[in-house]
């Protein structure tokens, strides 16, 4: 069974800093990988989706990379802002299922 791990579990950074969140998965036979953001008490918001044939995707200050062979993905956030504070989850898609990591709780300190 696919296992998805996110490190670190929690991260605090000062405003303006660039940061990287990590996601690793055990089975490289994936269709895509998706990064989500979850605010406390709220649902998940899709940030970026990378197809298995792609290496990276960018949206504004966010850049996600995928190395399928090594089972790794990173989410890079540039010039972090207090509004970026949330839990970030990665999810990998198998044949008929979506496997989530446990998330990284990010706090950006003003």
What sign does the dihedral 66-53-60-25 (CA atoms) show?
negative
Q: Are 58 and 49 in contact (CB under 8 A)?
A: no
Size of the site for another protein (CB under 8 A): 23
Alpha-carbon distance of 94 to 86, in angstroms, equals 26
> Which one of 40, 83, 95, 110 is in contact with another protein (CB under 8 A)?
95
Is residue 49 part of the contact set for another protein (CB under 8 A)?
A: yes
Cβ 80 to another protein, closest distance in Å? 23
Per-residue buried b or exposed e for 36-61, using 16+ beta carbons within 10 Å of the residue's own CB: bbeeeeeeeeebbbbeeeeeebeeee
Residue span binding another protein (CB under 8 A) among the ranges 12-20, 26-34, 57-65, 70-78 = 26-34
Interface with another protein, residue 94, by CB under 8 A: yes
Q: Can you tell me which of 72, 74, 93, 105 binds another protein, judged by CB under 8 A?
A: 93
Whole-number Å distance between alpha carbons of 42 and 37? 10
Binding site residues, another protein, CB under 8 A: 31-32, 34, 36, 41-46, 49, 89, 91, 93-98, 100-103
């Amino acid at each position: 069974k696919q296992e998805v791990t996110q490190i670190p579990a929690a991260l605090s950074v000062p405003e303006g800093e660039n940061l990287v969140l990590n996601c690793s998965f055990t089975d490289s036979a994936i269709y895509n990988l998706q990064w989500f953001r979850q605010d406390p008490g709220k649902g998940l918001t899709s940030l970026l989706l990378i197809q298995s044939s792609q290496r990276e995707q960018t949206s504004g200050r966010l850049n996600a990379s995928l190395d399928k062979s090594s089972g790794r993905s990173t989410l890079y956030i540039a010039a972090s802002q207090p509004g970026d504070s949330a839990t970030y989850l990665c999810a990998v898609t198998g044949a008929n299922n979506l496997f989530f990591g446990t998330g990284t709780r990010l706090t950006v300190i003003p």
